[in-house]
A and B are shown apart, each in its own frame.
Chain A
Amino acid sequence: MFDDQETVAAVLRSTPPPDVPGDFLARVNARIDATAGWLGLADFRTWTLRLAPAAAALALAGLLWPAPSVSTTPVPSVTATPATVFSPSSSSDWQQDVTGDAMLDAALTPADRGRAR
Protein backbone atom coordinates (compact mmCIF):
# COMPACT_ATOMS: atom_id res chain seq x y z
CA MET A 1 0.00 0.00 0.00
CA PHE A 2 2.78 2.43 0.93
CA ASP A 3 4.61 1.43 -2.24
CA ASP A 4 1.49 2.46 -4.13
CA GLN A 5 1.56 5.79 -2.37
CA GLU A 6 5.14 6.39 -3.43
CA THR A 7 4.47 5.23 -6.96
CA VAL A 8 1.51 7.55 -7.40
CA ALA A 9 3.54 10.40 -5.93
CA ALA A 10 6.36 9.64 -8.36
CA VAL A 11 3.94 9.63 -11.31
CA LEU A 12 2.50 12.96 -10.23
CA ARG A 13 5.97 14.42 -9.74
CA SER A 14 6.84 13.36 -13.25
CA THR A 15 3.98 15.42 -14.72
CA PRO A 16 5.40 17.29 -17.68
CA PRO A 17 5.51 21.03 -16.99
CA PRO A 18 2.88 23.08 -18.78
CA ASP A 19 3.72 24.99 -21.90
CA VAL A 20 4.05 28.54 -20.71
CA PRO A 21 2.86 30.90 -23.44
CA GLY A 22 5.69 33.03 -24.76
CA ASP A 23 3.84 36.23 -23.98
CA PHE A 24 2.85 35.26 -20.45
CA LEU A 25 5.11 37.80 -18.75
CA ALA A 26 4.15 40.53 -21.21
CA ARG A 27 0.48 39.90 -20.52
CA VAL A 28 1.01 40.01 -16.76
CA ASN A 29 2.80 43.35 -17.16
CA ALA A 30 0.08 44.70 -19.42
CA ARG A 31 -2.55 43.82 -16.83
CA ILE A 32 -0.54 45.42 -14.05
CA ASP A 33 -0.18 48.61 -16.11
CA ALA A 34 -3.87 48.59 -16.99
CA THR A 35 -5.01 48.27 -13.38
CA ALA A 36 -2.39 50.70 -12.06
CA GLY A 37 -4.15 53.57 -13.83
CA TRP A 38 -7.58 53.53 -12.23
CA LEU A 39 -6.54 51.61 -9.15
CA GLY A 40 -3.87 54.18 -8.38
CA LEU A 41 -6.52 56.87 -8.35
CA ALA A 42 -8.66 54.85 -5.96
CA ASP A 43 -5.77 54.11 -3.61
CA PHE A 44 -6.29 56.24 -0.50
CA ARG A 45 -2.65 55.70 0.53
CA THR A 46 -1.46 57.46 -2.62
CA TRP A 47 -3.82 60.31 -1.97
CA THR A 48 -2.78 60.57 1.66
CA LEU A 49 0.85 60.79 0.65
CA ARG A 50 0.24 63.27 -2.13
CA LEU A 51 -1.86 65.51 0.04
CA ALA A 52 0.58 65.44 2.96
CA PRO A 53 2.50 68.58 1.83
CA ALA A 54 -0.72 70.49 1.34
CA ALA A 55 -1.94 69.43 4.79
CA ALA A 56 1.38 70.44 6.34
CA ALA A 57 1.26 73.83 4.59
CA LEU A 58 -2.28 74.43 5.84
CA ALA A 59 -1.32 73.48 9.39
CA LEU A 60 1.69 75.81 9.26
CA ALA A 61 -0.40 78.62 7.84
CA GLY A 62 -2.91 78.09 10.63
CA LEU A 63 -0.17 78.44 13.22
CA LEU A 64 1.63 81.40 11.70
CA TRP A 65 -1.27 83.39 10.32
CA PRO A 66 -2.07 86.30 12.64
CA ALA A 67 -5.37 85.85 14.38
CA PRO A 68 -7.92 88.46 13.30
CA SER A 69 -7.58 91.37 15.76
CA VAL A 70 -10.63 92.84 17.43
CA SER A 71 -11.58 95.90 15.45
CA THR A 72 -11.10 99.21 17.24
CA THR A 73 -13.35 101.04 14.82
CA PRO A 74 -16.47 102.05 16.68
CA VAL A 75 -19.46 100.20 15.40
CA PRO A 76 -22.37 102.47 14.78
CA SER A 77 -24.72 101.86 17.61
CA VAL A 78 -28.21 100.71 16.98
CA THR A 79 -30.74 102.45 19.08
CA ALA A 80 -32.71 99.93 20.90
CA THR A 81 -36.03 100.43 22.37
CA PRO A 82 -35.33 100.09 26.08
CA ALA A 83 -38.65 98.55 26.86
CA THR A 84 -38.36 95.72 24.39
CA VAL A 85 -34.85 94.38 24.74
CA PHE A 86 -34.82 90.96 23.16
CA SER A 87 -32.24 88.29 23.72
CA PRO A 88 -32.84 84.97 21.91
CA SER A 89 -30.97 83.11 24.61
CA SER A 90 -33.71 83.73 27.09
CA SER A 91 -36.68 81.43 26.82
CA SER A 92 -38.98 84.12 28.12
CA ASP A 93 -38.28 86.07 24.96
CA TRP A 94 -39.94 83.40 22.87
CA GLN A 95 -43.33 84.48 24.00
CA GLN A 96 -46.10 85.96 22.00
CA ASP A 97 -45.80 89.43 23.49
CA VAL A 98 -42.44 90.22 21.84
CA THR A 99 -42.90 92.94 19.33
CA GLY A 100 -41.79 92.70 15.76
CA ASP A 101 -39.46 95.65 16.25
CA ALA A 102 -37.74 93.93 19.14
CA MET A 103 -37.16 90.79 17.09
CA LEU A 104 -35.77 92.80 14.20
CA ASP A 105 -33.53 94.64 16.60
CA ALA A 106 -32.23 91.39 18.09
CA ALA A 107 -31.55 90.02 14.64
CA LEU A 108 -29.55 93.09 13.63
CA THR A 109 -27.57 93.41 16.86
CA PRO A 110 -24.27 91.47 17.05
CA ALA A 111 -24.48 88.57 19.48
CA ASP A 112 -21.87 89.86 21.95
CA ARG A 113 -23.55 93.23 22.19
CA GLY A 114 -26.87 91.60 22.77
CA ARG A 115 -25.44 89.56 25.64
CA ALA A 116 -23.79 92.62 27.14
CA ARG A 117 -27.09 94.23 27.47
Chain B
Amino acid sequence: MEKEGLSATVDPDGELVTAAAAGSRDAFDELVRRHQSAMLTLARVLTGGRGDADDLAQEAFVRAWRNLPAFRGDSTFRTWLHRVAINVVRTSQAKEGRLRRLFDAGGRSDEPFDPPDTGEPIETALARRQAIDRALASLPYELRLPVTLRDLQGLEYKEIAALLKVPIGTVESRIFRARQRLRPLLASLVERHV
Protein backbone atom coordinates (compact mmCIF):
# COMPACT_ATOMS: atom_id res chain seq x y z
CA MET B 1 0.00 0.00 0.00
CA GLU B 2 1.19 3.48 -0.79
CA LYS B 3 2.22 5.32 2.35
CA GLU B 4 1.25 8.97 2.53
CA GLY B 5 0.76 8.79 -1.22
CA LEU B 6 4.44 9.39 -1.77
CA SER B 7 6.08 6.03 -2.09
CA ALA B 8 6.11 6.35 -5.88
CA THR B 9 8.26 9.48 -5.54
CA VAL B 10 11.96 8.89 -5.90
CA ASP B 11 13.73 10.66 -3.08
CA PRO B 12 16.59 12.69 -4.53
CA ASP B 13 18.28 12.45 -1.14
CA GLY B 14 17.80 8.69 -0.89
CA GLU B 15 21.42 7.61 -1.23
CA LEU B 16 22.71 10.25 1.13
CA VAL B 17 20.02 9.38 3.66
CA THR B 18 20.96 5.69 3.56
CA ALA B 19 24.64 6.53 4.04
CA ALA B 20 23.91 9.02 6.82
CA ALA B 21 21.63 6.57 8.61
CA ALA B 22 24.51 4.10 8.55
CA GLY B 23 26.63 6.71 10.33
CA SER B 24 28.30 8.69 7.54
CA ARG B 25 28.84 12.24 8.72
CA ASP B 26 30.00 13.30 5.27
CA ALA B 27 26.67 12.22 3.81
CA PHE B 28 24.82 14.07 6.54
CA ASP B 29 26.93 17.19 5.96
CA GLU B 30 25.80 17.14 2.34
CA LEU B 31 22.17 16.82 3.44
CA VAL B 32 22.64 19.83 5.72
CA ARG B 33 24.14 21.84 2.85
CA ARG B 34 21.22 20.93 0.59
CA HIS B 35 18.49 21.85 3.07
CA GLN B 36 19.97 24.51 5.34
CA SER B 37 18.47 27.38 3.38
CA ALA B 38 14.98 25.82 3.39
CA MET B 39 15.17 25.06 7.10
CA LEU B 40 16.29 28.59 7.90
CA THR B 41 13.44 30.01 5.85
CA LEU B 42 10.92 27.75 7.57
CA ALA B 43 12.22 28.54 11.06
CA ARG B 44 12.31 32.25 10.29
CA VAL B 45 8.71 32.30 9.07
CA LEU B 46 7.38 30.11 11.87
CA THR B 47 9.07 32.22 14.52
CA GLY B 48 7.96 35.45 12.86
CA GLY B 49 11.50 36.52 12.07
CA ARG B 50 12.87 36.26 15.60
CA GLY B 51 16.54 35.87 16.22
CA ASP B 52 16.42 32.24 17.31
CA ALA B 53 15.43 30.94 13.87
CA ASP B 54 19.05 30.08 13.21
CA ASP B 55 19.28 28.15 16.46
CA LEU B 56 16.06 26.25 15.79
CA ALA B 57 17.14 25.32 12.26
CA GLN B 58 20.34 23.87 13.70
CA GLU B 59 18.37 21.98 16.32
CA ALA B 60 16.19 20.50 13.58
CA PHE B 61 19.28 19.05 11.91
CA VAL B 62 20.58 17.70 15.22
CA ARG B 63 17.25 15.94 15.84
CA ALA B 64 17.23 14.68 12.26
CA TRP B 65 20.68 13.16 12.72
CA ARG B 66 19.63 11.52 15.97
CA ASN B 67 16.41 10.11 14.51
CA LEU B 68 17.69 9.22 11.08
CA PRO B 69 17.97 5.48 11.87
CA ALA B 70 14.23 5.54 12.60
CA PHE B 71 13.39 7.26 9.29
CA ARG B 72 11.47 4.61 7.32
CA GLY B 73 11.25 6.42 4.01
CA ASP B 74 7.45 6.78 4.13
CA SER B 75 7.96 10.26 2.73
CA THR B 76 10.88 12.03 1.11
CA PHE B 77 13.68 13.13 3.40
CA ARG B 78 12.79 16.75 2.67
CA THR B 79 9.21 16.29 3.85
CA TRP B 80 10.37 14.39 6.93
CA LEU B 81 12.91 17.12 7.72
CA HIS B 82 10.16 19.72 7.50
CA ARG B 83 8.15 17.72 10.02
CA VAL B 84 11.15 17.57 12.36
CA ALA B 85 11.70 21.32 12.04
CA ILE B 86 8.02 22.13 12.63
CA ASN B 87 8.08 20.00 15.78
CA VAL B 88 11.27 21.69 16.99
CA VAL B 89 9.74 25.15 16.55
CA ARG B 90 6.46 24.06 18.13
CA THR B 91 8.24 22.58 21.15
CA SER B 92 10.32 25.72 21.55
CA GLN B 93 7.26 27.96 21.31
CA ALA B 94 5.35 25.84 23.82
CA LYS B 95 8.29 26.03 26.24
CA GLU B 96 8.54 29.75 25.71
CA GLY B 97 4.79 30.16 26.22
CA ARG B 98 4.96 28.31 29.54
CA LEU B 99 7.84 30.51 30.71
CA ARG B 100 6.02 33.62 29.61
CA ARG B 101 2.90 32.62 31.52
CA LEU B 102 5.05 31.97 34.58
CA PHE B 103 6.95 35.24 34.56
CA ASP B 104 4.76 37.66 32.65
CA ALA B 105 1.63 38.53 34.58
CA GLY B 106 0.56 40.80 31.74
CA GLY B 107 0.11 37.72 29.56
CA ARG B 108 1.45 38.77 26.20
CA SER B 109 -0.18 37.05 23.27
CA ASP B 110 1.52 34.17 21.44
CA GLU B 111 1.42 36.06 18.18
CA PRO B 112 4.77 36.07 16.42
CA PHE B 113 7.15 38.93 16.70
CA ASP B 114 6.80 41.36 13.84
CA PRO B 115 10.18 41.84 12.14
CA PRO B 116 11.28 45.47 12.17
CA ASP B 117 11.07 47.61 9.10
CA THR B 118 14.63 48.69 8.36
CA GLY B 119 13.46 51.42 6.03
CA GLU B 120 15.54 50.08 3.15
CA PRO B 121 14.16 50.49 -0.38
CA ILE B 122 11.85 47.62 -1.34
CA GLU B 123 14.14 46.71 -4.23
CA THR B 124 16.79 45.31 -1.96
CA ALA B 125 16.68 41.62 -1.15
CA LEU B 126 16.68 42.27 2.58
CA ALA B 127 13.76 44.68 2.39
CA ARG B 128 11.76 42.31 0.18
CA ARG B 129 12.36 39.43 2.53
CA GLN B 130 11.40 41.50 5.54
CA ALA B 131 8.22 42.73 3.86
CA ILE B 132 7.23 39.14 3.12
CA ASP B 133 8.19 38.04 6.63
CA ARG B 134 6.03 40.80 8.12
CA ALA B 135 3.08 39.87 5.95
CA LEU B 136 3.39 36.19 6.80
CA ALA B 137 3.83 36.96 10.49
CA SER B 138 0.43 38.63 10.50
CA LEU B 139 -1.29 35.40 9.47
CA PRO B 140 -2.58 32.94 12.04
CA TYR B 141 -0.42 29.85 12.36
CA GLU B 142 -2.87 27.50 10.60
CA LEU B 143 -2.75 29.68 7.48
CA ARG B 144 0.88 30.72 7.70
CA LEU B 145 2.27 27.19 7.80
CA PRO B 146 0.59 25.71 4.69
CA VAL B 147 1.20 28.78 2.52
CA THR B 148 4.84 28.81 3.59
CA LEU B 149 5.25 25.12 2.83
CA ARG B 150 3.64 25.57 -0.60
CA ASP B 151 4.90 28.90 -1.88
CA LEU B 152 8.22 29.35 -0.11
CA GLN B 153 9.31 25.75 0.36
CA GLY B 154 7.78 24.34 -2.81
CA LEU B 155 6.14 21.28 -1.24
CA GLU B 156 3.31 19.54 -3.09
CA TYR B 157 -0.24 19.76 -1.75
CA LYS B 158 -0.29 16.04 -0.94
CA GLU B 159 3.05 16.38 0.91
CA ILE B 160 1.64 19.24 2.97
CA ALA B 161 -1.54 17.28 3.70
CA ALA B 162 0.51 14.31 4.89
CA LEU B 163 2.78 16.54 6.93
CA LEU B 164 -0.03 18.42 8.65
CA LYS B 165 -2.25 15.32 8.85
CA VAL B 166 -5.22 17.13 7.31
CA PRO B 167 -7.20 16.40 4.12
CA ILE B 168 -5.82 17.85 0.91
CA GLY B 169 -8.98 19.99 0.52
CA THR B 170 -8.23 21.63 3.86
CA VAL B 171 -4.72 22.43 2.70
CA GLU B 172 -6.03 23.98 -0.52
CA SER B 173 -8.59 26.10 1.28
CA ARG B 174 -6.09 27.32 3.88
CA ILE B 175 -3.59 28.29 1.20
CA PHE B 176 -6.32 30.08 -0.72
CA ARG B 177 -7.36 32.05 2.35
CA ALA B 178 -3.78 32.82 3.26
CA ARG B 179 -3.05 34.26 -0.19
CA GLN B 180 -6.25 36.33 -0.03
CA ARG B 181 -5.11 37.86 3.24
CA LEU B 182 -1.60 38.41 1.96
CA ARG B 183 -2.68 40.20 -1.23
CA PRO B 184 -3.20 43.67 0.34
CA LEU B 185 -0.24 43.24 2.68
CA LEU B 186 2.09 42.56 -0.23
CA ALA B 187 0.56 45.25 -2.44
CA SER B 188 3.84 47.08 -3.05
CA LEU B 189 5.59 43.86 -4.08
CA VAL B 190 2.62 42.60 -6.11
CA GLU B 191 2.48 45.81 -8.15
CA ARG B 192 6.14 45.49 -9.00
CA HIS B 193 5.66 41.85 -9.83
CA VAL B 194 2.71 42.30 -12.20
Contact = CB atoms under 8 A, between A and B. Distances in A.
Interface stretch (A22-30, A56-64, A90-98): A22-30
Interface residues on B, range: 35 or more
Contacts, number: 82
B40 A31 contact: no
A25 B33 contact: yes
Given A32-B65, A39-B66, A8 B179 contact: yes
B47 interface: no
Interface residues on A, range: 20 to 34
B179 A5 contact: yes
B194 interface: yes
Contact of B58 (A10, A12, A28): A28
B132 A31 contact: no
The interface residues of chain A, by DSSP majority, are classed as helix
A10 B190 CA distance: 9
Interface of A: 4-5, 7-18, 20-21, 24-25, 27-29, 31-32, 35, 39
10 contacts: A7-B190, A12-B182, A16-B129, A17-B37, A24-B40, A24-B57, A28-B61, A31-B58, A32-B61, A39-B66
